[in-house]
Amino acid sequence: MYRTGNRIIYWQFSVREYYDVYVAGLRWLTRAGYVIAGVTSDWHGSIMAAVQSVLPDVPHQRCLVHTQRLCQSLITIRPQTEAGQMLLRIVRELNHLHNHYEVCIWKNWLALWNRRYGEFIKERTQGKKDVGSRTWWYTHKNLRRAFRTLSASQAHLFLYLDRLGLDKDTNGLEANFTHLKEKLRIHRGLKRKKQVAFILWYLYFKTR
């Protein structure tokens, strides 16, 4: 589903989030005359690849809410380590940055965290596989992944500050999905064919 402002402009049924489906959707929009000045998405791999393929020069904003939720799920809401507690505070500020000055402070905070706990998230645990060979893994792998997500994504986290009209999250689109699911739940007795028709009419009126 694609949305601009408060209006849904294109949708397509798909079994899963496939690269080819997103490519087809983006190409349809460009052929239909839409000038795509920016994209905001949840950063699913297929979306990233499709945007890079079809719109390589268009700013692609990573949804701050999805990023925040991902990192919080990795750190947990009650981390047991000091490093986890400090990173959770940084994550919680991600969606409350309103200008470049605040972003600069946030980035410095993240850099200071790395200086203090960078070696901590490199710690490894040694073990053995079932066949007897030795192996290892990062002891704090979820904490490490949360930090690396924030660190590696910085070029795509704050594009909304410089691009007027570029949303910093996909909350508007998610609200459409939530509302649609609620309507379907009320009519959960509908057979699949009628559910499809219901969705089509719902989306049709959302484009008006």
CA distance 208 to 206: 6
Span 31-70, pLDDT tens digits: 999 999 999 999 999 999 999 999 999 999 999 999 999 9
Helices and strands (H, E) in the chain, number of each type: 9, 6
Span 82-113, pLDDT tens digits: 999 999 999 999 999 999 999 999 999 999 99
- Give the HSE-up count for residue 89: Cα atoms under 13 Å, Cβ half-sphere: 8
- Tokens (6 digits) for 52: 């890079």
Dihedral (CA of 45, 46, 50, 51) sign:
negative
pTM to 2 decimals? 0.90
- 86: CB partners within 8 A, 6+ apart: 113, 116, 117
Q: What are phi and psi of 21, to 5 degrees?
A: -65, -45
CA distance 47 to 182: 26
Task: Output DSSP code: residue 132.
Answer: S
CA distance 159 to 51: 15
Q: Which helix (H) or strand (E) holds 17?
A: none
